[in-house]
Amino acid sequence: MSTVHSTTYSLLRHRGMTTIFGNPGSNELPFLRNFPDDFRYILGLHEGVVVGMADGYALASGKPVLVNLHAAAGTGNAMGALTNAWYSHSPLVLTAGQQARPLIGVEAMLANVDATQLPKPLVKWSYEPACPEDVPRALSQAIHMASLPARGPVYVSIPYDDWGHDVDADAELLVERDVQSAGTPSSSQLEWFKEHLAQAKNPAIVLGPEVDASRANQLAVALAERLSMPAWVAPSASRCPFPTRHPCFRGVLPAAISGISAKLEGHDLVLVIGAPVFRYHQNAPGRYLPEGTQLLHLTGDVQEAARSPMGDTLVGDLHATLQALLPLLEQSDRQLPEALPLPEPVPEAPGRLAPETVFDSLNALAPEDTIYVKESTSTVTAFWERVEMRHPGSYYFPASGGLGFGLPAAIGVKLAEPDRPVVAVIGDGSANYAISALWSAVQYKLPIIFIILKNDTYGALEWFSRMLNVDDAPGLTIPGMDFCALANGYGLEAVLAESREAFEKALTEGLASDKPLLIEVPTTTIEP
């Protein structure tokens, strides 16, 4: 007879979820008993790293991923990383080991009290099965909930004494089950979109991370070219939905109400695809849109649609909608925008390297299909201006701004995309949130290049302190760190690059290597 344990592994195998990320505790050991040979367990030394690795893997693969956490404490450790997974719509199936059922009510050690409430509101669904026989069904529901639009993390608390219980033959029906969604607009909805676009005199397009997630990048390019529209990336960009050297590309919109309105001045219609309207950050009040500007919004997320403060929204599958819409649109007789000029090199000076110089070297030497995992928040603008990204799935940034994403996410991305180069560009402040991820890169022999931009400060915070007139805030400098020594302590080769020549030499050697490498680069501080 099948057990909860055997049925669960059959379910995971059928769904292709054979890579599991975790940091086990005693409550999880019964699940890991007789771990199948066709599965792999990726160990992180902290639950924040575990979720960061799983997040990167899910983003790059587009598939649901099982995460194995330890009760309440492990869940709590993972919550910071979970904020990014929530806003990036990562289909993570988080399981947390619960104390044995007879001991939950008396709050024995490692009992997860009121377990389903703990991860909220950062999960789509949270559940603890009422009986052992319900565990396989609950996990099946969790996988489908995580995968259906809008995708996102889910949470299941499982008492550890459930795994050995028998289940009846009907449980096997769960293994073969599939759930699919369909989101193609009706002909009348497409006609409505077409008419509004056709009537626009000077339209613009704003593209968000959902475009890249649904691999609709080339459809977005075709749409921009068909209507000769300047193409912006939505603010707080966590992915790159549009090639950055295309003539239509105009950069990333600022994350402020007045700043966005200023950039969109003169456009009578703005078409936003695959992004919230909008992810603001700086408190710079103003009009949401310029006078006389209409906004159309296409998204797969009903929550993003409902909370938008302006515009008309269509909720549907982006890829299918763009495929259906493009043949209905006539080629515009407007000229394509002129490509943005390439930025000039920053004059080299003695001392620390400018981040712009690092990015120019990176752009010149890294293969064109390189995947960049970026978590240097004070260098975002310079990176987008100087590093060309032309392929889908080429850029990942923490979707909620929660630090600790970059190092582990690069590991997850490389596990999902072993044939593409992966370069992680991480600030020294960010790196310390998840530094133990370097151990996992070494243990799983992943040839990732970790570039640590070391400016001895929280650069983005310094900029904000000037904006908010808080020049006397403590805790903004972080001197005295040796990332080469830290890397060596985890068994990782590391190089200190204090000149452009040294950086380019280390980068070239790292790209040719089959081992991970950390390059520590002392840099100047620039504005985000």
Which residues have a catalytic role annotated?
25-26, 28, 47, 70, 281, 401
Angle between helix 4-14 and 135-147 (nearest 10): 20
Nearest in space to 267 (alpha carbons), one of 334, 351, 188, 367: 334
Buried-exposed string 300-309: b where 16+ CB fall within 10 A, e elsewhere: bbeebbeebe
Contact partners, residue 6, CB within 8 Å, separation at least 6: none
- Residue count of the chain, please give it: 528
Give dist(CA 180, CA 299) in Å, integer: 18
Residue 404's SS3 state is: coil
Nearest in space to 88 (alpha carbons), one of 117, 65, 58: 58
Phi-psi region for residue 285, left (φ > 0), alpha (ψ -120 to 50) or beta?
A: beta
Give dist(CA 409, CA 59) in Å, integer: 9
Question: What is the per-residue DSSP string for 199-221?
Answer: H-SSEEEEE-HHHHHTT-HHHHH
Cα radius of gyration rounded to whole Å, the chain:
24
